[in-house]
Structure 1
């Protein structure tokens, strides 16, 4: 590991997830510094290209959430600059970041997914919102769940129990994206399954069971200490845990991901793991599920961050 001595952590970005990204980046940087790795942090701004060209780091560790950080754009820039980085390559990021595309692809690999539709804001404008809302409810029924087709941290995501609530949920969703994913709301246990690869191939971390105190895992529940109770490993039968971890690994491989990912699932009342979405840059904050799962698996989070950076360096 002696040859890893200079890492740049990217955090922040111009997205609603800016603050979460800053917290993730801060934690990764602190972990690397504790192990003696010289570490700088930077945002994605007009100074970045100059830094990468004139004073390139050995490795970049992206801790960016949302657009640019997870849609492949920043990673394309890192490729152009010839700087190795932690995480999935640009093409895989583009596929994973588009929730409907990722959902369709993993379904082709036998993964269970909720029934749903993806509709652009223009469809409601052009065809008439009331009639289209009625048609969606007639087809999918209620309850439903509405979320933007891209992005994370539960921004623009709403649980829906009626036709009137669907209309309001779509307004909230379209504040964050031009297209909405409308799915059946599956009753069951919400879990997050991290996948990690530090050199010997990807493996699933213990599933984290998520129990928000208000029943909804929204932004506040995700990032306010004490607002959500986590159980790791999840309180599920061994066979259900096995199926859930296999689902996360299937998603990771099917989407061409690398190094790290986090798959969000609902285990329904029949014990089936239903795929919700995948994240190519899991949160690394003090309330994020990925570091919790790393610890539950018996790994030191600081060492994992260093090993991920070293693995990226070896790809150079």
Structure 2
């Protein structure tokens, strides 16, 4: 491996996603431990100038913290694959599937993962048709979600026909397709998976908000507006099941390095999988670093371990020269004809 003092790490953040500002908080938090151990750390924006900037800085490895579309959905990852630059986190396919809530649910459904019932609705259909379909399938209380956003962005709740019409009308102003799920009453918990030397299934964390408020964007990133309870206040059997499903989701989606799965856990019964985050945040209020810390993995070890692992992985990147031998073709005959 290249000497750490001669290694250049690019932290990639920002971009067109609504989570751009939060991603810059993650970038600020991981910068100090990286600067402590590596020779050169640069922070780059996810924009049209990124490829040129990566080449200018002769970047050895990328630590992506650009959440949401473009940064977390396989676009950034595909660009880095083409450029031959190793990076932390899931590859192209896993990233694309993980950010798409519908793709995630369809994959996990075939794996037997417990999921909320859902309907897909389109702005191309009459709203009345969508509303009737949802009420018939899911009942009066529902959750409305954009297909491909994180951090609770765009999530709405509705009860009854009137509210559902209002929420869908509002939702279709931003997205043409929406995922509607049955509302499940229960505790909000999460569990992370960390592939570092071996696969760690991190402790289950319960998320508590003042007055049982929805754990929305504001509560996620405002210090003091949420509390992380470890261990979660659910039964040992439920905790074990959450960890089993989190690992199963990580493997079925084919995530790499890190992921975090969210659940709703009813008072009695099986935890219900909600969504998977294939590039968990690293902000001061983020859940994944808390889970790692309670598993005995301090933040500095977490961040640097992921970088070293990606660097090592880069040494064994795909090369067509060492792949299956391809027979030589005589193309001259076709050219001559």
**Which structure has the higher relative contact order (CA within 8 Å, separation 6+)?**
1
Distance in 1 separating the partners of 2:14 and 2:173? 20
Correspondent of 2:204 among 193, 204, 207: 207
Deviation at 1:216, TM superposition (A): 0.7
Query: Counterpart in 2 of 1:22?
Result: 24
Provide TM-score, normalisation by structure 2: 0.88
Distance in 2 separating the partners of 1:244 and 1:277? 12
Query: Counterpart in 2 of 1:313?
Result: 311
Distance in 2 separating the partners of 1:80 and 1:291? 30
* CA offset digits 1:185-240 (Å, max 9, x no partner): 1111111111101122x221111101121421111111111111220221222221
Distance in 2 separating the partners of 1:207 and 1:116? 25
Correspondent of 1:260 among 258, 261, 266: 258
Deviation at 1:119, TM superposition (A): 1.7
Aligned pair count reads 311
Whether the aligned pair in 2 keeps the contact of 1:137 and 1:163 (CA below 8 Å) is yes
Correspondent of 1:161 among 152, 156, 159: 159
Query: Counterpart in 2 of 1:85?
Result: 87
1:128-147 to 2 correspondence within 5 Å? 128-147=126-145
Query: Counterpart in 2 of 1:117?
Result: 119
Correspondent of 2:223 among 207, 210, 225: 225
Query: Counterpart in 1 of 2:268?
Result: 270
Distance 1:118 1:135, change over 3 A: closer
Correspondent of 1:150 among 145, 148, 167: 148
Distance in 2 separating the partners of 1:207 and 1:174? 35
Whether the aligned pair in 1 keeps the contact of 2:8 and 2:57 (CA below 8 Å) is no
Deviation at 1:65, TM superposition (A): 0.6
Whether the aligned pair in 2 keeps the contact of 1:53 and 1:81 (CA below 8 Å) is no
Distance in 2 separating the partners of 1:96 and 1:275? 13
Deviation at 1:297, TM superposition (A): 1.2
* CA offset digits 1:168-200 (Å, max 9, x no partner): 222343344321110001111111111101122
Give structure 1 stretches of 5+ with no counterpart: none
Which secondary structure does the structure 2 equivalent of 1:183 belong to? Answer: strand
Query: Counterpart in 2 of 1:57?
Result: 59
Which secondary structure does the structure 2 equivalent of 1:196 belong to? Answer: strand
Whether the aligned pair in 2 keeps the contact of 1:192 and 1:263 (CA below 8 Å) is yes
Distance in 2 separating the partners of 1:172 and 1:147? 12
Query: Counterpart in 1 of 2:8?
Result: 6
Query: Counterpart in 1 of 2:325?
Result: none
